[in-house]
Amino acid sequence: MGINRRDFLKIAGASALAGIGGASGLVLAKSGALEASQYTDDPKGLKAKRWAIAIDMQKFQTPEDYAKVMNVCHTIHNVPEIANPKQEIKWIWTESYEHAFASQDYANPYIQDYLKKKPFLVFCNHCDNPPCVRVCPTQATFKRKSDGIVMMDMHRCIGCRFCMAGCPYGARSFNWKDPRPFIKKVNPEFPARMKGVVEKCTLCYERLAVGLIPACVEASNGGMIFGDLNDPNSDVRKVLASRYSIRRKPELGTTPSVFYIIGGQ
């Protein structure tokens, strides 16, 4: 016989439990509680037409100024620490002026010394016209209509890495192996990734949803200015209107939402 008494009881018990669970689910759905918890935005959530970050390079002086910004991001987002630079996962890191702004030609070698020596924070530019979104064959990476954040659906990503070839800023990382063993302390609030998918900065969409500004901005003590690029009265617009700023590779037509304020005042 294929089934004995013990197995029968197990199956019967499991079915009964599933029945109860199913019924309670129905009750929840009827009362609207489930819908409310899943589909209604948190009233505290931050909203904008197009989020942008301006980095005030004068506010970044010591290595700690950079470290605290990068560390908070990588800690709360479960970014693994992989020693091999070829397989590194990075959401936010620093590059020299020459490398960050490697544009038409090698950067101007006669530029002011402080710029030449200064590390620049680099991360996803959340472009208004993102090539990574254009090339993705599954819409696993997409520009959120409501606020312009370039998002990642790591459950849909097939790992073809077309977005990595498409991104001219090297902002995307691929999980060449299982990242979990390389996460020092897992933050249970944020999903860890699996091997074979691409990831990058998602502008702390999970924090914006509950009314918090991006973690890097918060940790920067005013070094990074966050706001709505479409609102002329926003902090980010005000600072961009008053001081000289540059963007990475503007000639490529991607229109980044990350600005570097290098001018004074």
Q: Which of residues 95-114 bind other proteins (CB under 8 A)?
A: 95, 98-100, 102, 104-106
Token code pair at residue 14: 């499991």
255 binds other proteins (CB under 8 A): no
Q: Which of residues 230-249 bind other proteins (CB under 8 A)?
A: 249
Among 71, 75, 87, 230, interactor with other proteins by CB under 8 A? 87
C-alpha to C-alpha distances, 60 to 66, 261, 262, nearest whole angstrom: 7, 11, 11
Among 79, 254, 257, 259, interactor with other proteins by CB under 8 A? 254
Instruction: Give the C-alpha separation, 199 to 181, whole Å.
Output: 17
Buried b (16+ CB within 10 A) or exposed e, 199-220: bbbbbbbebbeeeebbbbbebb
The site that binds other proteins (CB under 8 A) totals a number of residues, namely 52
> In the complex, what is the shortest distance from the CB of residue 211 to other proteins, in angstroms, rounded to a whole number?
31
Cα–Cα–Cα angle for 13, 15, 18, rounded to 5 degrees: 110
Stated as kind and residue range, the H or E segment containing 258 is: strand 258-261
Q: Which of residues 137-196 bind other proteins (CB under 8 A)?
A: 137-140, 156-162, 164-170, 172-178, 194-196
Q: Which range touches other proteins (CB under 8 A), out of 10-18, 84-92, 180-188, 237-245?
A: 84-92
The one-letter amino acid at 178: D
Q: Which residues bind other proteins (CB under 8 A)?
A: 85-88, 90, 95, 98-100, 102, 104-106, 131, 133-140, 156-162, 164-170, 172-178, 194-198, 249, 252-254
